[in-house]
Amino acid sequence: MDEHVKKTLRWIGHNSISILRDLHMRQIIFVWITHCLAYIAHLLPADYSPALLFAAAAAITQATSMCLPMLALYGLGNMQAAWIPRHVSKASKFMVPITGAFLLILLYANYTLFEMYGFFIDPFVVNILTTPGGTAALGASDSVYLTIAAIVSAIVIGLYLSRFVPLDLLAHALLPRTAVVVATLLVIFLAQAAVYAVSEHKSYVPVLRFADRIPWYQTVTAKSFLADIGVERSREVMDYGNPSSGTKFHYPESVPELLPLDKRYNIVWLVAESWRWDMLDPEIMPETWAFAQRSQLFVNHYSTGNGTRMGVFGQFYGLNGSFWFPALRYQRVPVLVDTLQKSGYNIQAYTSASFTYPEFDKTVWVNVENDRLHSVDSGMGWERDRKNVERLIEFPKQSSTPFFSFMFFESTHANYQFPKENEVESDYLPDFDYLATDIESSIGLIKNRYINSSNHLDCQLGRVFDSLELQGLLRDTVVIVTGDHGEEFMENGRWGHNSTFSQQQVRVPFLLYVPGMKGTTHKAMSSHMDIPATLLSLLKPGHNSRVYSMGDNLLSPDFDREYAVISDWHGDALVTSDHKYSMSPKANSRRTALSTIDDKPMDQADMPAQIHLALSEYMAERQRFSRPPSATQASAGEQLALTALHAEPDKAVPPPALPSPSTDG
């Protein structure tokens, strides 16, 4: 071992007692205790007594991890080693209290946000604070800034006064047993991580809700390992206690006012993988194009995600795709599916992919029996589609009650396979080997494969349309046809999806056939979030869709969507008629956060008023499903966040009232 390292270790051992009496160490212990107390204070009101031991262990673990930066700086500042420059040592000591103050400010800010909106600091909040004019768009007044200054001052003073409290006596007592303390903390960490992993796998809500009340709790999952050792994932909806406490997802399990339904249309819902808007073309997809002319065709329609999870989630829940995570965690059934089940609909769902990955068996279809979920997992994508369509068109013949049938098509999924008869483009890459193909130089030939696979998709959709026509079902059947997300072919530097919010990845076809309604082309912006409100408004006209959805009825005469929200795994993007603004670190890693609607980069300093307004409305909408509906009065902070609604970003207006509990979701 290096001699300098040996000297450093000997010095730590000989001087450890005196180090703990250092005033900086008292501050570290003060910050640690404050974090523990704050976590416990926000955990105790919850009524999940079976998980109290997990809550204590998680609080200790998270408090310790939050204090690690202070400990590292303290250790570096006290190491008397030749390889550590003196100025580095002094700077490290100086940074200990500054880091402590920063951690306490973050702790306060996180729980203030949580009480107001139900979520902690995340990329969206960071974007608001770092965007030029972002805080101005929220209408912050001088008094708010004074209040913030007073709170920060109080935290700094409290941290300074902690230097005079002999907290080091606690550490002094524990120091001779350092190895025991470290081992105990390690055991606590491993135990709470294991409990969380199993709880996540089994959807044990008491533990999950405790974890959701700890800022930035580091989750540990072990789905594959648990499955390998025979622990099955639960499909049962497991709830515990008050559903409006301890969770950041306040979505109704049911909406009684929807029942009984006024109309009981049959519903056929068809979703195609990676199907972008410009494939709905009379040359590429003639049968679907012809059916679109009889339907309500929305030509400026956006998915709720650039990937399958968020793209399908938004269609059924009417929410931003980012709510996928709590919906999966708490296995919350969509209001739409719940309503159809309670109305006696015969529900059958078919997929050429899987219902377990993504986990739609634990979200969209969580309350639907396994024998109603049909998947085909053998053969190429187009072959699976053909088999599923056979079953799909036979199903109505066997149903004596109103039916709901859903199908997810795989034909247009990479690597875009198709039979010979669907060669619309003859010049295509015959063998698309991901590893051996130079994608950039072959992208035109790859796209031709995609066009041909879209033609095969058209043939299968045509079979469904023809069957509904021949069986006389179009007289009383609503048909939805759309894509989960789009697909890019290097138009903006990327291939595929799940990477950015370019038009090619997020804009999809959407057509809605309604019996007796004349075919119309709609040019206004629309979103997957609007589908549940539209469909349920056909079944139950006049109900309040804001209870369960962020979307609106597309067929309403006064429908007007000012912006759409699109999600990936890391954040959301806002799309207005002219601009896009991304709040996803991943999507922003290779492009600017702000761009024109056709993906031309813009300087973020030139943030348009459209985006400012969308940000303000987005925060208010997100709040509706992220905080308990029992709160009837807006706090000062909530009023601040809602001030800019329907106002120019540089003009202050009186804060509007919050929604009443009946419309708060």
Residue 108 within any structural domain of the chain: yes
Last residue of a domain, one of 572, 593, 613: 613
Q: Note whether residue 122 is domain-resident.
A: yes
Q: In a 3-state reduction of DSSP, which class is residue 100?
A: helix
Give the domain CATH number at 454.
Answer: 3.40.720.10
Using CA atoms, how far apart are residues 420 and 452, in angstroms rounded to an integer? Answer: 9
Verify that 557 and 468 share a domain, yes or no.
yes
Q: Are residues 205 and 308 in the same domain?
A: no
Residues 190 and 278 in one domain: no
What is this structure's pTM? 0.73
Tokens of 180: 């025991």
Q: Which residue's entry shows tokens 């005033």?
A: 23
Kindly report the length of the chain: 665
For residues 201 and 298, state if they share a domain.
Answer: no
Three-state DSSP class for 347? strand
Looking at residue 635, its pLDDT comes to: 37
Number of domains into which the chain is organized? 2
The alpha-helical segments, DSSP class H, found in 118-141 are: 123-130, 134-137
- Say if residue 178 is in the same domain as residue 313: no
Q: Is residue 597 part of a domain?
A: yes
Q: How far apart are CA 503 and CA 171, in angstroms?
A: 57
Which tokens hold the place of 105?
């400010």
Supply φ then ψ for residue 510, to 5 degrees.
-150, 120
Cβ(373)–Cβ(349) below 8 Å: yes
Cα 372–Cα 335–Cα 216 angle in degrees, nearest 5: 105
Residue 404 lies in a domain: yes
- Per residue in 107-140, pLDDT (tens digit) is 888 877 776 556 677 766 676 566 555 554 444 5
Q: Among candidates 116, 125, 111, which has minimal Cα distance to 39? A: 111
Looking at the structure, do residues 49 and 144 belong to the same domain, yes or no?
yes
pLDDT, residue 234, reads 66
Helix (H, G, I), strand (E, B) or coil at 496: strand
pLDDT of residue 652: 33
Q: Which amino acid is at 222?
A: A
Cα dihedral across residues 543, 546, 548, 550: positive or negative: positive
Smallest CA-to-CA distance from 354 within 306, 413, 408, 394 is with: 408
Give the integer Cα–Cα distance in Å for 357 and 89.
51
300 and 170 share one domain: no
Contact present, 476 and 266 (Cβ < 8 Å): yes
Res 632: pLDDT: 33
Asked if residue 267 lies in contact with residue 492, where contact means CB atoms within 8 angstroms, the answer is no
Alpha-carbon radius of gyration of the chain: 28
Q: Are residues 307 and 179 in the same domain?
A: no
Element (H, E) at 504: helix 503-506
Residue 283 and residue 208 share a domain: no
CA distances from 441 to 429, 444, 489, 493, 537 (A): 11, 8, 11, 12, 48
For the chain, the straight-line distance linking the first and the last C-alpha, in angstroms and rounded, comes to 63
The reply to whether 496 falls in a domain is yes
**CA 93 from centre of chain:** 40
User: Would you say residue 233 lies in a domain?
Assistant: no
Structure tokens at 140: 């912050």
Q: Under DSSP, is residue 172 helix (H, G, I), strand (E, B) or coil?
A: helix
273 and 129 together in one domain: no
Distance CA 493, CA 479 (A): 35
Q: What domain range is 192 assigned to?
A: 3-212
Mean pLDDT by 10 residues, the chain (665 residues): 57 47 74 84 64 83 86 74 66 82 85 68 66 50 70 84 70 58 82 84 75 81 77 58 52 91 96 96 97 97 95 96 87 94 96 88 92 90 94 89 95 92 92 78 92 97 96 96 95 88 96 96 97 97 94 95 92 93 79 89 84 86 74 37 36 32 29
Point out the domain boundary residue: 566, 587, 613.
613
DSSP character string of 232-256:
PPP-S----S-TTSS-S----S--G
Q: Let me know whether 313 and 455 are in one domain.
A: yes
The answer as to whether 593 is a domain residue is yes
Give 278's Cβ-side CA count (13 Å radius). 10
Is 658 inside any structural domain?
Answer: no
Asked if 373 and 274 sit in the same domain, the reply is yes
